[in-house]
Structure 1
Amino acid sequence: MQKLFKYNWQVRRDWFEWCESVDEQELLKSRIGGPGSILYTLFHIVDVEHSWIRGLQGKIETEMPPFEECASVQKLRDYSERCHAEIAPFILAWNSGMENQILSDKNDAGEWEKFRYGEIMRHVLAHEIHHIGQLSVWSRELGKGPITANLIRRGLFDR
């Protein structure tokens, strides 16, 4: 599971680099088929990962900054790095004994739901991959090639 998180983190860093070559107005333009703009989608990816993993760590939910405070490539990259620094140790310490631990969480209707830690970890992984696919479509609409989604050739399995 850690390899897939490392994959997502590499791809996300590549997308931040890709964003540096695109006009900021294009990055902030509202798009069809996703949560919003290119930058907002990256913000959403970071926020969802951070929020769920903090929950698994037993940390009290904190107020995320409004998107407007992160609405540039560098500010969003900085926010992503801060969130990453906080949650990476938990993810990298993941072991099979954590798989069936339970997290209770309130849904939008205010009702309590229970989730296995392993289910949440896989949800976070799939969530980012899903939105990266949307970024790939939007990059083609801009006439730019997307970041490769290949898992191979990233050096993740060299050891």
Structure 2
Amino acid sequence: MVISRSDVMVSCGRKVDSCMNEVEKKQPHRDMFHNRREIECLLTASQIRSRQHLIETMLSCIRQLFEYNIAQRRRILKLLEQVDREDLTRGLGVGWGSIHGILVHLMNTEIYWIDTVLRGVETERVLSEECEDMDAISKHWSRVEENTRNLLSDVNEAYLQNVQSVRWDGTIISFTVAKALLHVATHEIHHRGLVIGLLRQMGYDPPDVNML
């Protein structure tokens, strides 16, 4: 969400006209040009402060979502250490085949968005054969998590509004950094729910991962 003065003025236009009517009633002797300029400046400043507050709130929420994901991820990984490898790699008819496949997909998705798209760094993807057990998966994910934390510590309100673009199947897709980060966070939440459902189907007792 990039804020420009013209955007703000368009959104405030009706408010300016309404305020002008009130001023004209109370101070008919005043120069209307100066009245309008004063009102426009006041409304513009107010609108910018409001937008800025929203952006600051969004950044706080994004960081909280990632901290929540990291905390719940660790709980799930700890449980998966007790799951038979056969159950981890069993084909269950889901998009990534198995729980093991979902975990590798989640790591590579985070690498793609955080490193490749947002940081502009070509980080090698995690190969399925490199993740023979949960210990290997946890080590790979620690590296992914470190890069994500580094990015989040550097993010500020201005950077959050930057527009990035990627090309998928010949089509250019544009989005703000904020939207990309929200996508990464909600993507993991979705797949974590899938993993929990699969674990329950196999008779395991996954932890409660609600935020509250």
TM-score (norm 2): 0.66
AA partner of residue 138 (structure 1): L
Amino acid at match of 1:58: G
**Distance in 1, Cα, partners of 2:130 & 2:143:** 14
Rounded to whole Å, the distance in 1 between the matches of 2:104 and 2:96 is: 10
Structure 2 gaps, min length 5: 1-61
Tell me how large the CA RMSD over aligned residues is.
1.4
Alignment match of 1:9 (pick from 51, 67, 70): 70
Instruction: State the structure with more CA Rg.
Output: 2
Q: TM-score, normalised by structure 1?
A: 0.87
- Deviation at 1:94? 2.6
- Residues in 2 aligned to 1:34 and 1:127: alpha-carbon distance in whole angstroms: 14
Structure 2 counterpart of 1:111, which letter? T
Partner of residue 46, structure 1? 107
Tell me the distance in 1 between the aligned counterparts of 2:97 and 2:130: 16
Select the residue among 175, 181, 191 that pairs with 1:115.
175
The residue number in structure 1 matching 2:164 is: 103
Considering fraction of residues, name the structure with more helix.
2
Structure 2 residue aligned with 1:87: 148
Counterpart residue number, 2:185:
125
Kindly indicate whether the alpha-carbon contact (under 8 Å) linking 1:27 and 1:39 is maintained by their aligned counterparts in 2.
yes
Which amino acid is 2:198 matched to?
W
Structure 1 unaligned residues grouped into runs of 5+: 153-159
Runs ≥4 in structure 1, deviation > 6 angstroms?
A: none
Aligned-partner residue type, residue 133 of structure 1? G
The equivalent of 2:120 in structure 1 is 58
